Structure 1
């Protein structure tokens, strides 16, 4: 379930002549428009993404064979402000690159630029349908439901029953009652960019989303100070907007910042506590996942490996699926686990650990003053699923910490969303 738009762009006809689809020129115009609007742009193998805000990407798929540029925007979390900004970008690109833009019918903003109709005729019905579906689904299952959650993000390990979560918060499945009382107020609070401009509501909601999804809530995370500064700006520019005081004071305490927001500003009391990363999380590594403390920072490596970092320790992991028939499983297990994993002059072997028939770990001392201990591990599951994982840490006493995380590693099931 989502809300957004799709657009197809083709060269305009000049009298009876078809225009030319000049992709380099189109991309050049696209990059210039992105720079003018303060948007990031990323060229990938098969598409080009223009980044407007967190959870707000306008993605273009060039098709030179069909002489067409296709675009799509998912506004399910970013909201109507992003939706309108993305449509404006498409229209500007069409004008500068001499393209004809055709949108799917039924969108009041794409068709006639009516932003208020977009919110009332598209986004309010979307929220009502979403919350109704979640309320029904919440009564059928005990585990938490996730919505608009990227596949490569961590998952909540112990989400409370009868709740659902998304990049803007953790909500009870019964939250539709709140929407029914004040639908437009709910829209304002739920979406990151609910209004036409990036106003104080946008700044507050963006800070809240960052606190929910990205903030590690420890002094070494610079995002703590960034969120504090953003919230202080919101309070100064719009003292009537409900303010997440509890979150603000918590972050000020973490970074040793003196609170400056006046007490008389109304309080945003929607959430008792904010922050998914305060708690253990399931981190995806290819088709595997491991249970880790929420404070780890995730870094994608060029070789496709995942690096998870804390101030005094880090985890580097990669996964693979090897083509192994059922008859070859035992031989595969022996080949992967039956011999030393690493023999390098810079690694001093200390200890070997076999954690059952499908898992092996080796402890080394390495020439690294920051992380002098290395636990190198492999784990396999049926079907040729292989996980390679290395734990780097400061003291040998954390050896058990690495083994405990390794024991949680398993091939993950498909995530069920609404």
Structure 2
């Protein structure tokens, strides 16, 4: 069961300091405090999303002349829970707003952080460990993974979370020890009231596990920003406390990718070698309609491409691959192959096959010279019920037919 804070904000008086109380001004006030406190905010699907730490978000929405919202706090941790209350109170005090909070932990009223953490967060974590340690290895392999994000590839013998992968052996050890709360600081991003060394290390761990492509910073601004932030967080953690388990291997790898001279970490405590960090070192899956498709985790999404197809790529200097995909849905009738889709070049070979209930057609084209470079392309369509998935894969070196075909074969029915 999740732990949440729900709240609403509105002026204390009808006369509101000469400022009109509306959606625009309420959002402006919130953004001002976000900037002042060094947090980040985004707009998403009609909400203003304020991020206090990795996995720690507050959702704001203008509704019924109030600024309302909620925050799920059990993943980011008890320190984040306290920080949400602090942010809301600062916003209310600064702007003379009336704040109403629903907080079943009682922290908003009693301000007993240790009692709140023990009774609610540590109990929730202990119950979670008891639950997942009994899962079968052939079943579900994700827990506490962001619902709207990509789906990582299964890792043998491990369960994947927001912060890293845990082996079944490790999880069973936590559950059977009766001391699972001792492991909570490895799981919660923000476990204490203050931002201690564990906070900075765990913040870096989330970025390493979910966002880092383990690619050179020179490839893109996204790579540069993620790599740089990871290094800054890990070095801050190590400066504060050299006794905490430290991801030495990943730190040195990212330093190399960022052309950064690493700190001396010889005396730092290493993570156990079984610990797996970095979902984007493997395939990742994204969903379109009733199917999902797998692509290499180091591919970037081209959000500047205005075409109807989603475009993923690794960069000309870093592999030279492009993956284009979109889906068409035909309500009330079965999807069919479209012959024109396979006329994008001189066909060298076509392959038809079935993947369970899905039907697949692929076409490989003869190499083509375009703007001074040789392009090796293939097209594919995958049909399942009313949906047709349309795919183009481009390579810039020969001998990658099987690689391209394997990506098509990784498409899965998800309904």
TM-score, reference length from structure 1: 0.81
What residue number does 2:321 align with?
313
What residue number does 1:79 align with?
77
**Does the 8 Å CA contact 2:342/2:363 hold for their aligned counterparts?**
no
**Does the 8 Å CA contact 2:26/2:67 hold for their aligned counterparts?**
no
**Does the 8 Å CA contact 2:360/2:382 hold for their aligned counterparts?**
yes
Matches within 5 A, 1:66-145: 66-136=64-134, 138-139=135-136, 142-145=138-141
What residue number does 1:393 align with?
395
Aligned equivalents of 2:51 and 2:307: distance in 1? Answer: 24
Structure 2 residue corresponding to 1:242, chosen from 242, 245, 258: 245
Q: 1:129 to 1:304 in 2, by over 3 A?
A: farther
Q: 1:258 to 1:28 in 2, by over 3 A?
A: closer
**Residue 10 of structure 1, CA deviation:** 4.0
Structure 1 residue corresponding to 2:174, chosen from 161, 178, 186: 178
Aligned equivalents of 2:97 and 2:369: distance in 1? Answer: 59
Q: 1:181 to 1:261 in 2, by over 3 A?
A: farther
**Residue 120 of structure 1, CA deviation:** 2.0
Matches within 5 A, 1:150-299: 150-161=146-157, 163-173=158-168, 175=171, 177-178=173-174, 180=177, 182-219=179-216, 222=224, 223-224=226-227, 226-251=229-254, 259-269=262-272, 271-299=274-302
**Does the 8 Å CA contact 1:108/1:117 hold for their aligned counterparts?**
no
Unaligned runs of 5+ in 2: 354-358
Aligned equivalents of 2:5 and 2:103: distance in 1? Answer: 9
Per-residue displacement from partner, 1:219-269 (whole Å, max 9, x unpaired)? 465445653454233223322333233433455566776653242333343
Q: 1:279 to 1:23 in 2, by over 3 A?
A: closer
**Does the 8 Å CA contact 1:352/1:363 hold for their aligned counterparts?**
yes
**Does the 8 Å CA contact 1:4/1:75 hold for their aligned counterparts?**
yes
TM-score, reference length from structure 2: 0.81
Q: Which segment is superposed worse, 392-401 or 177-186?
A: 177-186
SS in 1 for 2:126: helix
Unaligned runs of 5+ in 1: 414-418
**Residue 313 of structure 1, CA deviation:** 0.8
Q: 1:2 to 1:314 in 2, by over 3 A?
A: farther
What residue number does 1:2 align with?
2
Aligned equivalents of 2:189 and 2:372: distance in 1? Answer: 43
Per-residue displacement from partner, 1:257-316 (whole Å, max 9, x unpaired)? 665324233334384442222233333344422233333234456667533221221212
Q: 1:404 to 1:14 in 2, by over 3 A?
A: closer
Alignment: residue pair count: 393
Q: 1:128 to 1:302 in 2, by over 3 A?
A: farther
Aligned equivalents of 2:75 and 2:405: distance in 1? Answer: 37
**Residue 144 of structure 1, CA deviation:** 4.0
Q: Does 1:323 align with 2:313?
A: no
Structure 1 residue corresponding to 2:375, chosen from 361, 372, 378: 372
**Residue 59 of structure 1, CA deviation:** 0.5
Q: 1:126 to 1:20 in 2, by over 3 A?
A: farther
Q: Which segment is superposed worse, 349-358 or 201-210?
A: 349-358
Q: Does 1:32 align with 2:32?
A: yes
Q: 1:374 to 1:142 in 2, by over 3 A?
A: closer
What residue number does 1:416 align with?
none
SS in 2 for 1:397: coil
Aligned equivalents of 1:379 and 1:42: distance in 2? Answer: 35
**Does the 8 Å CA contact 1:9/1:69 hold for their aligned counterparts?**
yes
Q: Which segment is superposed worse, 212-221 or 373-382?
A: 212-221
Q: 1:392 to 1:304 in 2, by over 3 A?
A: same
